[in-house]
Amino acid sequence: MQIGNRVTISDARILLHDASTKRFIGYSRVGRVVIGSDVFIGADAIILPGVTIGNNVVIGAGTVVTKDIPDNSVVIGVPAKVIGSCDAFIKRNEMLLKQSPKYDTYWTKKSIEEKKKMQKELSNRLGYDR
C-alpha cells in the first residue's frame, strides 16, 4: 500500500486482499492500493484491492471503491461514482462557509450556554468548525 501526503482516512477499510474467491477457486485475490496526496476518505468507505486513488479526491462516507478514481474527483455510492470535481466541491463549500455559522473550538470545550446557542444555530442548517 502506498499513501501520499495530507491524506485523511476516517473509520474506513482498505483491503489488500479479497478472500471471496478462495472457497471457489482455492485462491484469494490480492492487489496493491495506491492513494494519492490531498485525499479524504469518509467513514465506512471501503477501498478494494488493486485500486489507485488519484490526487485531490474526496471519497464520501459509505462509498465502496472498486475501480481507479481519477485526480480531482468527488465520489460517492456503491459502487463509487464520480459526482463532481474536487475544485467545485471546494468552491461550493467556500461559498457556504461565508453564510454559515462558524466555530473556533470543538463543541466539547463549550459552556452549556454556548452549546445551546450552537444547537439553535444548527437546527435547520449546517455550520463549520476548525
Report if residue 41 sits inside a domain.
Answer: yes
Residue 70: pLDDT band with limits 50, 70, 90: very high
Mean pLDDT within 42-70: 98
Taking residue 11's Cβ as centre, other Cβ atoms within 10 Å add up to 10
- Given this model, what pLDDT does residue 111 score? 87
Residue 45 confidence (pLDDT) above 80: yes
Residue 75: pLDDT band with limits 50, 70, 90: very high
Distance in angstroms (rounded) separating the CA atoms of residues 17 and 121: 45
Let me know whether 64 and 115 are in one domain.
Answer: no
Report if residue 95 sits inside a domain.
Answer: no
Distance in angstroms (rounded) separating the CA atoms of residues 41 and 101: 25
pLDDT tens digits along 77-129: 999 999 999 999 999 999 999 999 998 776 677 889 988 988 999 999 999 98
Owning domain of residue 48: 2-86
Distance in angstroms (rounded) separating the CA atoms of residues 47 and 120: 37
What is the average pLDDT score of the chain?
Answer: 94
CATH number at residue 17: 2.160.10.10
Let me know whether 11 and 71 are in one domain.
Answer: yes
Per DSSP (E only), the strands in the chain are 2-3, 7-9, 13-14, 17-18, 29-30, 34-35, 39-41, 46-47, 52-53, 57-59, 64-65, 73-76, 81-85, 102-103, 128-129
Let me know whether 82 and 113 are in one domain.
Answer: no
- The structural domain count of the chain equals 2
Q: Which percentage of the chain shows pLDDT scores above 70?
A: 98
- Given this model, what pLDDT does residue 107 score? 67
- Given this model, what pLDDT does residue 77 score? 98
- Residue in the block written with cell 435547520: 124
